[in-house]
Amino acid sequence: MPFRMISTSVAFIALCLSSAADPAVKIINFSANWCPLCRVLDPRLADAVDRFTNRGVTLVEVDMTRLTRSDDDAQKALIAQLRALTAAHEAAYLWDWYGGHAGIAVIIAADNGEPLSCIAAALSTSQIEDRLQESLLLATKMRPGQRRPNGTDCPPPMPNRTLAQPTP
């Protein structure tokens, strides 16, 4: 079974709930078609994930192509949808950390959303594969909370780019 790419469409909920084999790790990829770093990262990430077919890796695309800084209802609805997507994967905190920024992917443990590693455009396909392999080992062999006792290699949380916040 090739990796599943989950998008921000309505169908993502069905894919999340119908998983036959639970993944060990998920890659939350913040991407946009206007992002130059994404044009480098996304193909490398897809190639690396392809090599992990049937090994417990799921790629979750958080497509921010249509995000703008406007405060209209359509933007509020899109932000709410993107937040819901990350929340559905135990990674709502990642929206708070990186929402509105593209060109970064975070590998998380599928069981609890614990961040394991980050991936940026500077990494080669081989380096991404190494991080995936390490993350799979951490997720399957270490107990939650003890997988990264000294923290991850992820950049610190970034300020939200003044995107409109949805109303609760």
Residue 62 phi, psi (nearest 5): -105, 95
64-68, 137-141, 143-147, 157-161: the lowest-pLDDT one:
157-161
Cα 167 to Cα 153: distance, rounded to the nearest angstrom: 32
Over residues 93-116, the pLDDT tens digits come to: 898 888 888 999 999 999 999 999
pTM for the structure as a whole: 0.78
Which tokens sit at 147? 């997988």
In the prediction, which pLDDT does 150 show? 64
pLDDT for 11 equals 41
State the Cα–Cα distance between residues 64 and 62, nearest whole angstrom.
6
For 60, list phi and psi in degrees, rounded to 5.
-115, 115
What residues does each domain of the chain span?
5-141
**Domain 5-141, classified CATH 3.40.50.10540, yes or no:** no
Of 130, 136, 120, give the one whose Cα is nearest residue 48. 130
